[in-house]
Amino acid sequence: MLTVTIDNITVEVDEGTTILQAARKIGGEIVPPAMCYYSKLKGSGGKCRTCLVKISQTSASDPRPGPKLVASCSTPVQDGMVIQNTTSPEVLESRKAIVEFLLINHPLDCPVCDQAGECDLQDLSFAHGLESTRYEEDRREFSQIDLGDKIKLHMNRCILCYRCVYVADQITDKRVHGVLFRGDVSEIGTYIENIIENDFSGNIIDVCPVGALTDKTFRFKSRVWFVNPLKAHRNCSKCSGKVTLWMFGDEVYRVTGRKDNFGELEEFICNECRFDKKSATDWIIEGPGKISRHSVISQNHYEKIVKQSIIKPLEGKTEQQE
């Protein structure tokens, strides 16, 4: 086991663990944000640069600091390494600059975006973004296109995190979309519209950190904070059948995979479960899903509220004297 200290908190991890994974083991606010890294997708990470951290001590045998900020998602820890994340002004300034860079082409269309309330970039810009933009040039603009009959691509919002490409590469039989061209003209595309038809293509919606890939069966139907996430399952021959139902009353508005504390899918689900089973009778409902208290989805959703009195009678005094 290796010992690493992140923001003055020490944790033991296995050899080969990255800084980001070590921070996730600790949890809380010291976990660096990640827009492109996805623990269940091989090769992901190292593209968005939002998870940069500072190495203030390389290892127990080498007390020298790192020469520059490093991507925590792809940098393995060493024994005795000391990391600064939220405690480093340099890291916070760098993160602010990276958010500004990501928002150069990303439109401010949160009021009409289905990802609002679940958007990692929205959370990141709220925490580290600037009040106004310094960018004066024209933004990139693309037409909306259909990637199959259930998925719509808004390339204007894409930050080129590559998650959807890795999903198609690693959990489907044939990948038919990818990143076209190079540099500042790169874009996600297929050359042929409506060609994505495999059974697990809907998972590219769940892994997208912004609103670039949206579910056409849910578009503009409701905001996520108006619907209730419920855990449910069914017998499915293609996937585990364990999902989250987003319901309003008895109506199922959408079906997504279950996500963990870091917003990553616990298991990938098939398109039949996601798009075709939109009736509550198709599912065995287990109960309400856990909602993070920092999320806007938690508004008006309360679980196990216990009221406790903080006023205790003083010893030796009667109720009237108090």
Please name the CATH architecture into which domain 2-92 falls. Answer: Roll (3.10)
What DSSP assignment string belongs to 41-80? STT--SSS-TTEEEEEE--SS--PPPSS-EETTT-B--TT
| Per-residue confidence band for 301, with pLDDT thresholds at 50, 70 and 90 | low
Under CATH, what is the fold of the domain 110-131+139-215? Alpha-Beta Plaits (3.30.70)
pLDDT at 149 over 70: yes
Distances (CA, A) of 159 to 2, 87, 120: 34, 27, 11
Contacts of residue 198, defined as CB under 8 A and 6 or more positions apart, other chains included, come to 168, 172, 173, 174, 271
Residue 110, token pair as written in the block: 């949160």
Quick one: average pLDDT of 251-265? 93
Q: Which of 220, 196, 206, 297 is nearest to 256 (CA)?
A: 206
Q: Rounded to an integer, what distance in angstroms lies between the CA atom of residue 153 and that of residue 126?
A: 24
Quick one: average pLDDT of 279-285? 94
Residue at 129: amino acid letter: G
List the chain domain ranges: 2-92, 110-131+139-215, 224-298
**Residue 275 has what DSSP assignment?**
I
Quick one: average pLDDT of 77-85? 96
Q: Rounded to an integer, what distance in angstroms lies between the CA atom of residue 191 and that of residue 175?
A: 13
Query: For 35-56, how does the pLDDT look when each residue is reduced to its tens digit (9 = 90+)?
Result: 999 999 999 999 999 999 999 9
Query: For 151-164, how does the pLDDT look when each residue is reduced to its tens digit (9 = 90+)?
Result: 999 999 999 999 99
- Exposure class string for 19-28: b at 16+ Cβ within 10 A, else e: bbbbbbebee
pTM: 0.86
